[in-house]
């Protein structure tokens, strides 16, 4: 673990960014919570109010009570349209504007990287996106706002307008495999990166947490920015214990200073 002060660590990460050719940024819940989105696992988080056992794919398919709880979570709105990007999201988008970002691989389902300005084709959402609802029968997709409006009018378990099939938020539930194409592409990008930056993830949810392992095994340097320890800390070239929204803008500011970019 690094014992240098924050300015020195910031400077070192800025140098790594400037010298890198293929930067992958990997984000977790620690980025979303700074936008007011509740964490799932932390005290006071979503699993303190909902039983995670009700959020398995099998239960969603078979149990109307479980589906009703899922739609209740959507109706609350905190995972969808009300949240706004924070300084960390904008700093990562700045990395793209500087021409330094290969892609973002995220565990988050909130669409905030795109809202901050990272192009859709550079965001790989391992756990899906709460902004969309999909019909399991015909495959039609609906914006979550459209379904939320129906919930607000009193519907408890909305169905597909086209075929009356079962609707499901386009996110990965427990017991459901990750989307294959997204996982394959994220794995490939991780393996070919030369700098892998983890922001706001404890790296304990698999298979997402394999991504930094793939990167370091392929020779990439690793930066970890997270408040709590992770299993990859000893592999990190630079380790910073700080909030994402506090340190990432400082890093980007330092990069711009070194590159003489406004």
* Residue 1 CB partners (closer than 8 Å, separation 6+): 233, 239
Collapsed DSSP state (helix, strand, coil) of residue 21 = coil
Spell out a b/e string for 59-73, using b for 16 or more CB atoms within 10 Å of the CB, else e: bbeeeeebbebbbeb
Here the tokens at position 74 are 């959507």
Catalytic choice (89, 113, 127, 164): 127
Cis-peptide, bond into residue 207, ω within 30° of zero: yes
The count of other CB atoms within 10 Å of the CB of residue 138 is 11
Does 164 qualify as catalytic in the annotation? Answer: no
Active-site residues, by number, are: 127
């Amino acid at each position: 673990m690094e014992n240098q002060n924050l300015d020195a660590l910031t400077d070192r990460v800025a140098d790594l960014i400037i010298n890198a050719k293929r930067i992958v940024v990997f984000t977790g819940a620690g980025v979303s919570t700074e936008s007011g989105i509740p964490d799932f696992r932390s005290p006071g988080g979503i699993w303190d109010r909902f039983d995670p056992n009700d959020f398995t794919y099998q239960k969603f398919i078979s149990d109307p009570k479980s589906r009703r709880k899922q739609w209740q979570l959507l109706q609350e709105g905190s995972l969808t349209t009300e949240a706004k990007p924070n300084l960390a999201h904008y700093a990562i988008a700045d990395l793209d504007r500087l021409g330094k970002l290969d892609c973002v691989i995220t565990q988050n389902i909130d669409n905030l990287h795109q809202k901050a300005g990272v192009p859709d084709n550079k965001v790989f959402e391992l756990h899906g996106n709460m902004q969309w609802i999909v019909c399991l029968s015909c495959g039609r997709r609906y914006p979550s706002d459209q379904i939320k409006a129906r919930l607000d009018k009193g519907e408890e378990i909305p169905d597909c307008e086209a075929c009356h099939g079962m609707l499901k938020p386009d996110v990965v539930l427990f017991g459901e495999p990750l989307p294959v194409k997204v996982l394959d592409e994220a794995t490939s990008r991780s393996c070919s990166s030369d700098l892998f930056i983890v922001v706001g993830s404890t790296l304990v949810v698999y298979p997402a947490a394999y991504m930094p392992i793939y990167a370091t095994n392929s020779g990439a340097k690793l930066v970890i920015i997270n408040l709590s320890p992770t299993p990859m800390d000893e592999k990190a070239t630079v380790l910073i214990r700080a909030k994402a929204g506090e340190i990432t803008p400082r890093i980007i500011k330092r990069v711009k200073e070194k590159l003489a970019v406004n």
